[in-house]
Amino acid sequence: MPATARRRLPQLDPRMLVGIVLVLASIAGTAAVVLSANRTVVVLAAAAPIAPGEALDRDRLALVEVRESAGLDLYLTPESLPEGGAIVTRPVGAGEFVPLSAIGDADRSQSSVVVPISGSTPGGVAAGAQVSLWSAAPSERPGAYETPTELVAQAHVVRLVEHDRMIGGGQVELELRVPAEQVPTVLAAVTNGSRLHVVPLHSAPEERP
């Protein structure tokens, strides 16, 4: 066939090629954004308030699925949950994501004890609160008590055992985390009929005047 009879191949406009590339890049970018927005991770939140010193186990935690975002690596996930011996080192509220910074090794220097508190508890005394524990020993005169003395300078409230009703003698019961060496003193006060009271701590002991 003569060269003059050959059909010429169509010439593509460079501007069209650039336009096609831009459209494809836009589609790919949009798809990446959509996929990223739909990507989720599972973090662990407190199913109920957790007081400092309490063991961190699966029964106290709830799985929460959230969209992946910056900062989530600072919180506890099922994969990073310690197998055993871990506690929380600060109060974690119900529904709060558990920060990795609030997890520590098991602390055997603290023990739990349930004490009857005379009268109603002061405002602000709830799970996770810090309180001091005071005791007024029975006096030699019937129905009278000695001047109160401080038994424990700093204790953590684990829970109100009797939350909805008062128990005998106009008392409510609190479960407290106290230094292990002070447990015998606290139990002795409970046994000898002392009147126990808690005072909320609104600042750390070292900051108190």
Element (H, E) at 183: helix 183-191
Residue 178 lies in a domain: yes
- The pairs formed by 138-147 with CB atoms below 8 angstroms and a separation of 24 or more are 138/192, 138/193, 138/194, 145/194, 145/195
Q: Which domain holds residue 94?
A: 40-105
Claim: this prediction has a pTM higher than 0.75:
no
Residues 191, 134, single domain; the answer is yes
More confident call, 185 vs 109: 185
Residue 15 lies in a domain: no
Residue 171 lies in a domain: yes
Res 85: pLDDT: 64
- Residue type (1 letter), 53: G
- Which stretches of 10-90 are DSSP H helices? 14-38
Res 28: pLDDT: 62
Digit-coded pLDDT (tens) for 4-32: 445 555 665 666 666 676 777 677 666 55
Pick the range with the lowest mean pLDDT from 13-17, 70-74, 136-140, 167-171.
167-171
Residues 115, 203, single domain; the answer is yes
Residues 143, 203, single domain; the answer is yes
Residues 121, 186, single domain; the answer is yes
Res 127: pLDDT: 80
Q: Please state the domain count of the chain.
A: 2
Residue 11 lies in a domain: no
The mean pLDDT of the chain is 77
Residues 96, 142, single domain; the answer is no
Residues 99, 131, single domain; the answer is no
Residues 96, 127, single domain; the answer is no
Res 81: pLDDT: 82
* CATH code for the domain of 86: 3.90.1210.10
Of the candidates 69, 84, 105, which is a domain's last residue?
A: 105
Q: Give the dihedral of Cα atoms 147, 138, 171, 135; nearest 10 deg.
A: 40
